[in-house]
Amino acid sequence: MPTAEDLIVLGKITSVHGIRGEVKIYSFTDPIDNLLDYRRWTLQRDGEVKQVELVSGRLQGKVLVAKLKGLDDREVARTFAGFDICVPRAQLPDLAEDEFYWYQLVGLKVVDTLGQLLGSIDSLMETGANDVMVVKPCAGSLDDRERLLPYTAQCVLKVDLEAGEMQVDWDADF
């Protein structure tokens, strides 16, 4: 079983679907149904861990509906709501040189073109037009402001994972 540090959350079971034990899933992957490419999932919730196997799944609107091996009862399936769906980091596909997974960006220090530390990336969110980085103040940051920066080529100039830093073209007063 992979360690917690090796696991990446790719989705969350939200509720049951139908009467045969299927579950509804909110997927964090892009496209949404990429989550179905992984057949073995580690489920985690409040310290509880389960290993499950995906039998089948389908896209239904903006959610996925999945059938897990051995889960055939609606009431038992209901107890799976709230579990995060995780897969080992090693199973994620390699990306192009200038592409990053969100988990790689969280925690990076964000520095503007003047060398001022704006804070560190706390999280990212999808807005439709582009992804947005939530940059929160950290030790040594310019001020105590939280900033929302677009994750676009115009804003993000350089990502250096080894240095733990991202350089952005962003006015600190904005």
What mean pLDDT do residues 19-44 have?
A: 94
Within 8 A by CB and 6+ apart from 133, the residues are 105, 110, 121, 123, 124, 148, 149, 150, 151
Kindly indicate the confidence band of residue 30, based on its pLDDT and cuts at 50, 70 and 90.
Answer: confident
Q: What is the mean pLDDT of residues 72-88?
A: 96
For the chain, percent of residues with pLDDT exceeding 70: 97
pTM of the model: 0.79
Give the separation between CA 77 and CA 52, rounded to whole angstroms: 12
> Which runs of consecutive H residues, i.e. helices, occur in the chain?
74-78, 102-105
Q: At the fourth CATH level, which superfamily is domain 102-168?
A: PRC-barrel domain (2.30.30.240)
Is the N-terminal amide bond of 31 cis, ω within 30° of 0?
yes
User: What's residue 62's pLDDT?
Assistant: 83
pLDDT value, residue 174: 83
> Is 10 exposed, middle or buried (CB count within 10 Å of its CB: 0-12, 13-18, 19+)?
buried
Instruction: Work out whether the CA dihedral 8, 130, 122, 119 comes out positive or negative.
Output: positive
Cα angle 78, 84, 88; round to 5: 135
Q: Are 16 and 79 in contact (CB under 8 A)?
A: no
> Residue 3: what pLDDT?
62
The domain 4-91 belongs to what CATH superfamily?
A: RimM (2.40.30.60)
Does pLDDT of 63 surpass 80? Answer: yes
Q: Mean pLDDT for the chain?
A: 94
All residues at 6 or more sequence positions from 91 whose CB lies less than 8 Å from its CB, including other chains: 38
Q: Show me where the domains of the chain are located.
A: 4-91, 102-168
Looking at residue 128, what is its pLDDT? 80
Indicate whether 117 pLDDT > 80.
Answer: yes
The C-alpha atoms of residue 64 and residue 87 are separated, in whole angstroms, by 17
